Amino acid sequence: MIKSMTSIELFAYALTVNDHDALHQRTVIRMFGLDAQSRTHVVHVTNFCPYLYLMLDPSRKWLTPRGTPTGEALALEAYIERTCSAFAPVKMSFVMKPKLYGADVVPGSKPPTRVSWPFLFVAFRSASDRTKFTWHFRGKSLYVPGLPRLWYNVAEEHLNSAQQMTGLGNVKTIGWTRFVVRERDAYVWDAVSWKSIVSLERNVYPSPTIASFDIEVYSSVTGTMCTADRAGDDVFQISLVVQRPDGSIDPILLTISHEDGLCVPEPIQWNGSSIPIRVVACDDEIMLMQMFSRELVDSGANVVIGYNVYGFDWPYIITRARRVGALPTIDTMAVLCPEENCNVRETEWSSAARPDQKIMYIDAPGRVNVDLFSVVKSTYNFGSYKLADV
C-alpha cells in the first residue's frame, strides 16, 4: 500500500553533514527539528551536491546573447569531463554573478550595482570529489586544446555542504521549515529533497528537552588536583537533570555503588513539588559512563548543558574512556540514531581577549552542546567565575 504525501512543519535547530560518507560515496545531510508539540524529528536531506566556482577571464566570451554557452565554453566543459573522469562533476553551468569577496561596483551606477563576473558553476557527488577537483586545478591557468591559455581562480571550495545548502536554497540553519514526504509512523524522514524544503516565518517556538550534567571525580593522590591521565582518578558520580517541554524534571544520580550500600538522596524541590531522585548504581567507572550515555539517549535531550563542560567534564570523560578503550561504547549519543558512533571534537584557538582556548566534547548529531561557563564569562564581568561564586 502506497502511503499518501503529507506536509511536515518543523523548527530546525541543527544540521549535520557527513561530507565523506564511505558507504554511499556522496554527501549526507541530516536536519534535526522540533514540531509544534516539541517532538523531535530527523530529516535525511537528499540530492544536494557540493559545489565550487571557477572564476573565468572576463575578457573572453563565455555566453551568447541568448545565454547559451559559446564554443570556448563548450570546449572547457569537454576538457573538464575528459580530464576529471574519476571525479567527474554531475553538473556544470556558466553564470554571471558578483564575486564573493570585494566591492567591484559599476562606475556611475545609482544605486551602486556590483560588477558581474563570468563563473563556471561545478557540482559534485561528494565533497571528496570536489577536493580532488580542486587539487587537480590547483594552478591558476590551463591549456585547453584549440584555445589560448586560460586563467582562472577557484572560489567557494572550502564551504561545507550545510553552508552551501543554506546559501544556495531557501533553507535556514535555524528556523521553521516545511517539506512534503510520504506518511510514516516514525519521526525519521528519508529522502527529502533539499529543493523541497521551504523556510517559514513563525513567532512561536517549541520547547526543547534540556539535559544538564555534572561529574564528580576522585583524586588518588591526597592534596593534588585530579587528572584524567592518572589511573586512580576515577569518575565516581554523574548527576543528570532532564527538563521536559512541559516544565517537569527528571533528576538522576549515577554512582559507583552496590545496591545494598546505596544511600538514597533527599528529594529536591521543584515548582512547589518534591521530586524524588532516581539513583542508578554502577559497578565501575566504565559502567558509569556507559549508563550516562544510555540515560542521555533515553532522555531525548535536544540540548546538553553544564558549567565548564568543554574545559573539564567532557574532556575528563573522553580521556578516561580512551584510557580503557571504552570510548566506542559511550559515544553512541546521536538523536534517533542510537547505534551511531559520534565524533570527538577538539578545537584550539587564541585571541587577545581569550588566550589559549581549548574545547573537547562528543559531537552527538541532534544534540546541541552549551557550556554555561563560556556564556557567563562572555556576558558578565565577575572577579571569579567559580560555580559557587556565580
Q: Which pTM value belongs to this model?
A: 0.84
First-last CA distance in the chain: 59
Query: How far does Cα 9 stand from its chain's mean position?
Result: 21
Q: What is the mean pLDDT of residues 16-28?
A: 66
Q: How many residues does the chain have?
A: 390
Q: Which of 189, 211, 186, 208 is nearest to 297 (CA)?
A: 211
Spell 192-212 as b/e; 16+ CB within 10 A means b. bebbebeeeeeeeebebbbbb
Q: Which domains does the chain have, with CATH numbers?
A: 5-49+164-199 (2.40.50.730), 51-158 (3.30.70), 210-379 (3.30.420.10)
For residue 300, is pLDDT > 50? yes
Range in 173-177, 178-182, 233-237, 280-284 with the lowest mean pLDDT: 178-182
Q: What would the grid cell of residue 319 be? A: 580521556
Q: What is the mean pLDDT of residues 230-259?
A: 91
pLDDT band at 269 (very low <50, low <70, confident <90, very high): confident
| SS3 at position 86 | helix
| Residues 6+ away with beta carbon under 8 Å from 303 | 208, 209, 210, 211, 367, 368, 369, 370
Distance CA 180, CA 36 (A): 16
What local confidence, expressed as pLDDT, does residue 1 receive? Answer: 44
Q: H or E stretch including 373?
A: helix 372-379
For residue 206, is pLDDT > 90? yes
For residue 19, is pLDDT > 60? yes
Spell 8-35 as b/e; 16+ CB within 10 A means b. bebbbbbbbbbbeeeeeebbbbbbbbbe
What local confidence, expressed as pLDDT, does residue 184 receive? Answer: 63
Helices in 32-160 by DSSP H: which ranges?
71-83, 127-136
For residue 14, is pLDDT > 80? yes
pLDDT, tens only, 356-382: 778 899 999 999 999 999 889 888 888
Q: What is the mean pLDDT of residues 215-226?
A: 91
pLDDT band at 4 (very low <50, low <70, confident <90, very high): low
Q: What is the mean pLDDT of residues 304-324?
A: 94
Q: Could you tell me which residues are beta bridge partners of residue 180?
A: 7
Of residues 129 and 106, which shows the higher confidence score?
A: 129
Mean pLDDT of the chain: 86
**Three-state helix/strand/coil letters over 221-276:** CCCCCCCCCCCCCCEEEEEEEEECCCCCEEEEEEEECCHHHCCCCCCEEECCEEEC
Q: With the C-alpha atoms ordered 251, 253, 259, 264, is the resulting torsion angle positive or negative?
A: negative
What local confidence, expressed as pLDDT, does residue 93 receive? Answer: 94
Query: How far does Cα 363 stand from its chain's mean position?
Result: 8
pLDDT band at 244 (very low <50, low <70, confident <90, very high): very high
For residue 3, is pLDDT > 70? no
Q: What would the grid cell of residue 110 be? A: 545609482
Q: Which of 30, 36, 28, 29 is nearest to 11 (CA)?
A: 36
What local confidence, expressed as pLDDT, does residue 326 receive? Answer: 87
Q: Could you tell me which residues are beta bridge partners of residue 123?
A: 51, 91
pLDDT, tens only, 128-146: 889 999 998 888 888 888 8
pLDDT band at 188 (very low <50, low <70, confident <90, very high): confident
Q: What would the grid cell of residue 113 be? A: 550595482
Placement of cell 532532564 in the chain: 242
Q: What is the mean pLDDT of residues 258-284?
A: 81
Is the distance from CB of 91 to CB of 123 less than 8 angstroms?
yes
- Other beta carbons within 10 angstroms of residue 278's beta carbon come to 14
pLDDT, tens only, 142-162: 888 888 898 999 988 888 888
Burial grade of 365 (CB within 10 A; 0-12, 13-18, 19 or more): buried
pLDDT, tens only, 332-344: 888 888 778 888 9
| Residues 6+ away with beta carbon under 8 Å from 121 | 51, 53, 91, 92, 93, 94, 95
Q: What is the DSSP string of 156-223?
A: S-SS-HHHHHHHHSS--SSEEEEEEEE--SSSEEEEEEGGG-EE---S--PPPPEEEEEEEE--SSTT
What local confidence, expressed as pLDDT, does residue 81 receive? Answer: 92
What local confidence, expressed as pLDDT, does residue 20 receive? Answer: 60
What local confidence, expressed as pLDDT, does residue 25 receive? Answer: 59
Burial grade of 166 (CB within 10 A; 0-12, 13-18, 19 or more): middle
Percent helix, strand, coil in the chain, to 5, is: 20, 35, 45
**Beta-sheet pairing, 210-217 with 303-306:** parallel
For residue 236, is pLDDT > 90? yes
